[in-house]
Structure 1
């Protein structure tokens, strides 16, 4: 199974896979609206706007597993993202990234690139995975790594 075969649901409830993004460079991020790192939405949108015409997409996956920092439903999340940060990049339905109920995409990502000290678990919101045009996970960035600081990594594989 490739990254493009995993069943997902968009933020508006449509069944989808990542097949429409095949051949693009992807930055896949677990996001939250009530987190100290929530302002990263602005930086993620900046990256998306800067590189989308070169075959790049940011994909946001809301997650409520870290101190209930994404309490809203999908409609509320979408409203927040569009009004507060003018988010235009694709958002997906709320997911779990850790545990027995982890979304299969996030299990795939964690198995492909481990975190600090070799851990698989996602430690917090705004963990970022960079995927090349062939669907390979090439880098995992911690929550603290701002979107602006990963632009060079994106540019290197565009």
Structure 2
């Protein structure tokens, strides 16, 4: 009984870790599945659908990272982050709501847990897309900029 409780907690921890790790890829995955299904329904074949889905997802991820890294406008970066965080938040809502339903929580509790999961997973995806873009490069602050004159070792 004790071992099963520990293994259940570890399994739940692994699922939540995977959810947070893969949340940033929700939009590229959605684009890849959509493109793959479209290509497959156009009778192009299974291999063409898989290859086009892979490239569509990769292009979506790389284009978002490049756009987030190069564009300095705060509203545009906010919009790019929101485009990547919204599908991750939706996925987080449904994942946490499903896990809480499996755990036997009541209807109100599952909705509350789902919304908390959506916010946390969306924020995590936002932070990850921002970190994948790299740090902002700003000019280093010097003594001239802060005091108006060059600092010396004499005092």
Same fold (TM over 0.5): no
Greater strand fraction, Structure 1 or Structure 2: 1
| Superposition TM-score, scaled by structure 2 size | 0.23
TM-score using structure 1 length: 0.23
Q: Which of 1 and 2 has higher RCO (CA within 8 Å, sep 6+)?
A: 1
Structure ranking higher in helix proportion = 2
